[in-house]
Structure 1
Amino acid sequence: MRRRTPQEFAAWLHDQLLARGYSLTPRGGGQKRFASAAQVSTATISRILRGEGSTDITVLERIADALGVGLGTVLVEAGVIKPDELGATQRPRGQMTADEAADELGITDPTKRTVFRGVVDSLKPSGTDAG
């Protein structure tokens, strides 16, 4: 999957603002109100809405908070990370299966995977699923 472009982020943010009742007409004041809600400058919001490039993580965090969406969503929409990269960052710690760990480590030989699974299973506390 490819990363999204600044123009795609601008279109996404534009739609998000309209859906939340921010008027984006020249005299509507929506950009200024949203900038205030997000605690960033109006110039920054204007630049983003014009598709003139991404911004730093702090601004993206503030946009996410002001929109009430997860930071991961904004990072994907802004093109900072690819959608498939987001899933890997959101997996709860400790929830990787032995097979997923083997994949991550590049263990492809079936015999080695079986040995790896056995080692992982022997190290798990009793009562947990072998995965």
Structure 2
Amino acid sequence: MSKYMLIMRNSGSIENPEDVDFEAVINAMGAYNEAMITAGILVGGDGLTDAAQGSVVEFTDGAPHVTDGPYGDAPALFNGFWTIEVASREDAVAWAVRAPLGAGNKIEIRRLTDETDFADYSDNEFVQKEKEWRGEQTDHTSPE
């Protein structure tokens, strides 16, 4: 099983957000999330606040530069994500197409790296530490 991130992007296609039935959106997303929980594949996920409320740290030749607000044009806005654990990219795609999103939205699907991606560096100190850290995270999130 591999973990995939489904990255929700909004094109800004909703001209009048105040006209959207937000409770209907919550219900549709809740049902979608519940389906992933029931299937045992949802690892985590969240929506994000408006990009105008965020900040961007840009790395250039000099010191990192911090700016407030959106980091790109509306088509690039990242407004939520799910992390799922499924057998294949095809399974991740199958779940992504079920998302209750309207026209103008996109979901980018990316596999999260795991220790197999760093097999050539398995004796590296930080690869070993990462493995330990992941084990500690799992221990903290397990039911007692």
TM-score, L = length of structure 2: 0.23
Higher-helix-fraction structure: 1
**Higher Cα Rg, which structure:** 1
Higher RCO structure, 1 or 2 (CA under 8 Å, sep 6+): 2
TM-score, L = length of structure 1: 0.25
